């Protein structure tokens, strides 16, 4: 087991806090503007990733986990930041007693909790980037979260990575692109522009 996987609880907390910070920076007038993900407004993107945050908490609490991507409409609420803060508090409360070797459902079938968390925790980090990108900012993911995301992406076969509902075709990245920008371009995100 690599060091990143053994630190998944720390990474989950870091990712949800990164997400909260991104959502906190959305101005009220921007919620219904398009995000950088085709067909989704910022509100819908936040709704989707709130579902991923709920999945992280449910996995740690050993609750019943749904086996499909979170639909934005299922998680859109009047105060998304408050909802995310509530989930962060539940995560903080549940992590100390969590059995990271306990088996949980995941896209790979039954796996230890530490592995099952890899997918939704990566989702939190990548979508925090998307939220910033949707508002014209390019941020660099913290090295440990970037490593988690990169490791997950590299472990998924190309035909599954690019399946419908997955990631779009890889985009070009300039030679001087940051490590996060390179990963996001590989995952089909536009990295041109931004501040």
For the chain, list the domains and their CATH numbers.
3-141 (1.20.120.450)
Of 156, 122, 113, which is closest to residue 11 (Cα–Cα)? 122
**Which is it for the CA torsion 138, 70, 81, 60, positive or negative?**
negative
Each residue's pLDDT tens digit in the chain (195 positions)?
Answer: 455 556 999 999 999 999 999 999 999 999 999 999 989 999 999 999 999 999 999 999 999 887 666 666 667 778 899 999 999 999 999 999 999 999 998 878 899 999 999 999 999 999 999 999 999 998 999 999 999 999 999 998 888 888 877 888 999 998 999 999 999 999 999 887 544
CA distance readout (Å), 149 to 21, 142, 170 = 19, 11, 16
Q: What is the pTM of this model?
A: 0.91
Q: Are 105 and 65 a contacting pair, CB within 8 Å?
A: yes
Please enumerate in sequence order all residues whose Cβ is within 8 A of that of 58, keeping only pairs 6 or more positions apart, or say none: 64, 65
Dist. CA 43–CA 83, nearest whole Å = 13
Q: Are 92 and 149 a contacting pair, CB within 8 Å?
A: no
Structure tokens at 78: 């009047």
């Amino acid at each position: 087991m690599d060091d990143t996987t053994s630190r998944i609880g720390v990474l989950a907390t870091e990712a949800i806090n990164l997400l909260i910070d991104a959502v906190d920076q959305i101005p009220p007038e921007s919620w219904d503007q398009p995000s950088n993900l085709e067909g989704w407004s910022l509100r819908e993107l936040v709704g989707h990733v709130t579902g991923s945050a709920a999945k992280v908490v449910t996995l740690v609490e050993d609750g019943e986990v749904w086996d499909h991507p979170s639909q934005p409409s299922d998680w859109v609420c009047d105060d998304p930041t408050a909802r995310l803060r509530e989930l962060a508090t539940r995560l903080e409360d549940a992590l100390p007693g969590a059995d990271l070797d306990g088996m949980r459902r995941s896209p790979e079938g039954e796996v230890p909790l530490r592995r099952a968390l890899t997918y939704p925790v990566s989702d939190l980090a990548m979508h925090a980037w998307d939220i910033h990108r949707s508002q014209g900012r390019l941020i660099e993911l913290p090295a440990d979260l970037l490593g988690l995301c990169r490791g997950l992406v590299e472990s998924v076969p190309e035909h599954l990575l690019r399946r419908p509902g997955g990631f779009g075709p890889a985009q070009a990245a300039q030679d001087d692109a940051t490590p996060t920008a390179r990963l996001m371009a590989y995952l089909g995100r536009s990295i041109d522009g931004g501040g």
